[in-house]
Structure 1
Amino acid sequence: MVDVCVNTGKGGPVAPNPAFAERVAESFRRQAFMGFLGARLVGVEAGTCIIELPFRPELSQQHGFFHGGVVGTLADNACGYASFTLAPAESSILTVEYKLNLMAPAVGDLLIARGRVIRPGRTLIVAQADVSARRGDGTEKPVATALATLMLMTGMADEPPAA
């Protein structure tokens, strides 16, 4: 279930598509890779997105931490879906590039990626994601931050490919 909070524009971005939260949730459900990992979309607002991923040994590297590739995947998706909230209904989003700084081992029971749009543009959007690892006692430790550039693809709706 997605926690949908529509931002009215008072101090924050306004989504051009009033059905942005449902559109984001539907697109996220179609991402087979995120489903395979066990990621959950848990928060969507205009210009922001939160994705969580419970720990499983299959997602770890040789020392038992969340693998850096998994951390990067969550950061990329959080940036992408934060940006997608601000896309018009007839548009889609595609990551052009992202830079990931791994700041600490991702040790915990839950990985949390919080994405937000830094600058919404007509063609390019800049977004940031901060990733934390939550331990069983509820404490969170920042483990990574990412800065992404995403392309707004006007006229290319985010739909499954034709069969």
Structure 2
Amino acid sequence: MEINQVENILKDNEYLFSFLDIKILKIENGYCEIMIPFKKEFTRLGNILHGGIIMTLLDYAGAMAVLSINKRRNQVTQELKINFLEPMKDGPFYSKGEVIKSNDDVAIVSIEFYDSKGKLGAKALGTWYMK
């Protein structure tokens, strides 16, 4: 599936995707890169990106990496473990997901979150059930 197709499907069906203004930079063969801009609405005290926004981007990057290999109709996040490593304030922000193991029903994804300077802000490991 092409980047434009995936973006259009998500923009039409998921308000959160549009609200966050997510841009898909790359999606292919178990790998995905996405980006969001810095917006004041995404911050907490101290003008730092809210952890819930980071978690959401990690989830989207992992899900789209799985989508690129999923031969079924749908998938759901089964588990998402996150380590927040640094406060993030320099946008835009990037997340990269890579499927590291999969079978017919389950995919395991390694996901990272970076600021515009390349600083690693969070690292996650997720499991997706493909149905």
Mark yes or no: TM-score above 0.5.
yes
Instruction: Verify: 1:123 aligned to 2:105, yes or no.
Output: yes
Q: Confirm or deny: 8 A CA contact 2:61 2:96 kept in the other structure.
A: yes
Q: Which letter maps to 1:120? A: S
Structure 2 counterpart of 1:96: 78
Query: Secondary structure of the equivalent of 1:119?
Result: strand
Structure 2 residue 118 is the aligned partner of structure 1 residue 143: no
**Once the 2 structures are TM-superposed, how far is the Cα of residue 21 of structure 1 from its aligned partner?**
5.1
Match of 2:56 in 1: 73
Alpha-carbon distance in structure 1 between the residues aligned to 2:10 and 2:31 = 14
Are the counterparts in 2 of residues 43 and 50 from structure 1 also a CA contact under 8 Å?
A: yes
- Name the counterpart of 2:90: 108
CA distance in 2, matches of 1:129, 1:60: 21
Whether the 8 Å CA contact 2:7–2:23 is kept in 1: the answer is no
**Identity of counterpart residues, as a percentage?**
24
Residue type matched to 1:150 in 2? W
What is the rounded CA distance, in whole Å, between the counterparts of 1:57 and 1:128 in structure 2? Answer: 28
1:52 aligns with 2:35: yes
Say whether the 8 Å CA contact 2:42–2:50 is kept in structure 1: yes
Paired residues in the alignment total 130
Q: 1:26 to 1:92 in 2, by over 3 A?
A: farther
* Aligned 8 A contact 2:3 2:24 in 1: no
Max Rg structure: 1
Unaligned runs of at least 5 residues, structure 2: none
Unaligned runs of 5+ in 1: 1-18, 154-163
Q: Which residue of the partner structure matches residue 15 of structure 1?
A: none
Which runs of 4 or more aligned residues in structure 1 lie more than 3 Å from their structure 2 counterparts after TM superposition?
A: 19-27
- Which structure: greater helix fraction? 2
- Partner SS, residue 69 of structure 2: coil
CA RMSD of aligned residues (A): 1.5
Instruction: Check if 1:87 corresponds to 2:70.
Output: yes
Offset at residue 20 of structure 1 (A): 6.5
The amino acid that maps onto 1:145 is K
Name the structure 2 match of 1:38: 21
* TM, length-normalised to structure 1: 0.74
Distance apart, 1:69 and its partner CA: 0.3
Cα distance, 1:31 vs structure 2: 2.1
